[in-house]
Amino acid sequence: MQKVLLEDSAGLLVSFKLMKFLSRSAEETQIIGFSLGKLLKSQGVVCLYGELGAGKTTFVKGIAQALGIPESNVTSASFTIIVEYDNEIPLYHIDLYRIEKESDIDGAGIWDYIYSEGITVIEWAERLGKVPDDFIKVKFAIIDEVTRDITIEGIDEKDWNYM
Ligand SMILES: Nc1ncnc2c1ncn2[C@@H]1O[C@H](COP(=O)(O)OP(=O)(O)O)[C@@H](O)[C@H]1O
Ligand SMILES: [Mg+2]
């Protein structure tokens, strides 16, 4: 784990916990999502960043599986913006790909989902602008056709290791 000290907007030093992974297949990306899903509490927000085809939806399948939702139920939410999974711990899968302005985000009631009971996972979280520090952030970078660099911010590596 890499601990990085950065200045926040108020100029205070904050420590960010970063975990880095190199995924060499869609299956591996799904397993990393599964591992994160197992660490989530009954309420929380996971922001996913990265271009088209980076592996965000694949990662959401892993999170869903960890919560007991069949991965085959999880498909791209691009056309619907929000998919709600009725589950012991509810899962809200949000995809902001089609959102163009921040006012559309408010109009679609996105923040109501984000702050409701359950877990909210947001693809194209870039569109949200700045988000609270307690949101987990996962950044995907495409290295080549089958390789993805995945950085998770906001999870302690010792929790990850003790699963
Ligand atoms: N290491 C990898 N991790 C995730 N997806 C991968 C990987 N290698 C290849 N792929 C492929 O890339 C695509 C990722 O699609 P998807 O998860 O829908 O991305 P996004 O939601 O970011 O647009 C899938 O076709 C998947 O098979
Ligand atoms: Mg997607």
Over the stretch 61-118, which tens digit does the pLDDT of each residue have?
999 999 999 999 998 877 789 999 999 999 999 999 998 888 888 888 899 999 999 9
Token readout for 102 is: 């921040």
Judged against a pLDDT cut of 60, whether residue 49 lies above it is answered with yes
Judged against a pLDDT cut of 60, whether residue 2 lies above it is answered with no
Q: Is the CB of 26 under 6 A from ligand 1?
A: yes
Judged against a pLDDT cut of 80, whether residue 19 lies above it is answered with yes
Give me the pLDDT at residue 5, please: 55
What is the tens place of the pLDDT at every residue in 117-156? Answer: 999 999 999 999 899 999 999 999 999 999 999 999 999 8
Give me the pLDDT at residue 36, please: 97
How far, in Å, from the CA of 56 to the mean position of ligand 1? Answer: 7
- The CATH code belonging to domain 2-7+20-157 is 3.40.50.300
Give me the pLDDT at residue 149, please: 98
Angle between helices 26-39 and 56-66 (to 10 degrees): 40
Half-sphere exposure of 49 (CA within 13 A, CB side): 16
How far, in Å, from the CA of 153 to the mean position of ligand 1? Answer: 20
- Provide CB contacts within 8 A for 145, sequence distance 6+: none
Q: Is the CB of 146 under 6 A from ligand 1?
A: yes
Judged against a pLDDT cut of 60, whether residue 9 lies above it is answered with no
Residues with CB under 5 A from ligand 2 (ion): 56-57, 76, 123
* Best probe residue, ligand 1, of 58, 59, 76, 148 (max atoms within 8 Å of C-beta): 58
Give me the pLDDT at residue 83, please: 95
Ligand nearest to the CA of 59: 1
CB atoms within 10 A of CB 81: 19
What average pLDDT does the segment 28-46 reach? 96
